[in-house]
Amino acid sequence: MQRFIIVRAFHAVIALFVVSIIVFALARISGDPLDTLLDIDATEEDFARVSAYWGLDRPLHLQYLRYLGNIVTGNFGESIRWQGRSAGGLLLERVPATLELALLSLFVSAILAIPIGVLVAVKKDTGIDYLGKLIALLGQSLPSFWLGLILMWIFAVQLGLLPTSGRGSVFPNVAEGSFKHLILPAITLGWFQVAALMRLIRSSMLEVLDTEYVKLARVKGIPEWKVVWKHCLRNAMIAPLTYFGLILGGLMTGSVVTETVFTWPGVGLLAIDALRARDFQVIQSVVVFFAGIYILANLIVDVLYAYLDPRIRYTQ
């Protein structure tokens, strides 16, 4: 088991290293940040002075080595747009908002997907099952930005029940605003995961419902609701539970569009603002952070799978 974890951790480090190279290259392709820092009247001397100050006049390989060293030491450099602020500091300020949104979206996904997944499995090949398949199809095909705008138009513009933007908080005294600010972005972000998790629970439940011990429990006269919700669901949740780590990582990294639609002041909106300003330091920090979250989630899931099924670790 220890060897398996070491190998997986090594693969995670390699993946993060590759991501750092890709994001460094793509950030440079997006354009020159000096165009946003200096006005049209700036002279060549101004461009040379500012370029030297930010280290943009150095060869690319030296810029990358400096950038890689900053990542290792936890110093992501100074922001180009938000001058005087560190990129890491800006990132840490926005993480709580994104984490709140991701956790509530995960909760929304779970409370919707688990009962629907169980119900459609029990009612296999009935109208309820076909309705569940339709929900799954819509959940995985509707663009999140479109869903967010539709929800905003219905519940904020037409009904006036919920705000269109801003930040609320699930924790008291953390941020100004109310819990209502979280509802629409959380549903928008979590809807895709509702469909994916529901299908996973349905397939797991169908396997468990066909096992011998479930048939024996029914023969003994145990009430059907207890057979389904106590005996079957407990065993069917093994695969979905390991998938929850990937869901949380996906919600964190997939928040960019949702946060932009609802002007949610999280890491996703910070990434968009940094892209518009061609702020290399912040862009690199955000992408490496997102990549680290997703790679860590995959690593945890791999370890959980190996713990639950020893055959996996011996096949590596």
Q: Could you read off the pLDDT of 71-95 as tens digits, one per residue?
A: 777 777 777 777 778 887 888 888 8
pLDDT at residue 195, as a whole number: 81
| Intra-chain end-to-end CA distance of the chain, in Å | 11
Looking at the predicted structure, is the pLDDT value of residue 176 above 70? no
Q: What is the pLDDT of residues 119-153, one digit of tens each?
A: 888 888 788 888 887 877 777 788 888 888 898 89
Query: Is pLDDT above 50 for 173?
Result: no
- Closest by alpha carbon to 299, among 95, 11, 1, 2? 11
Q: ∠ CA(10), CA(285), CA(16), 5° rounding? A: 15
Determine phi and psi for 86, rounding to 5 degrees.
-80, 150
Tens digits of per-residue pLDDT, 33-63?
666 666 666 777 777 777 777 677 777 778 7
Q: What local confidence, expressed as pLDDT, does residue 38 receive?
A: 64
Copy the structure tokens of residue 249: 């990582």
Asked if 84 contacts 172 with a C-beta cutoff of 8 angstroms, the reply is no
Contact by Cβ (8 Å): 233, 118: yes
Domain architecture of the chain: domains with CATH: 87-314 (1.10.3720.10)
Residues 9-31, mean pLDDT to the nearest whole number = 79
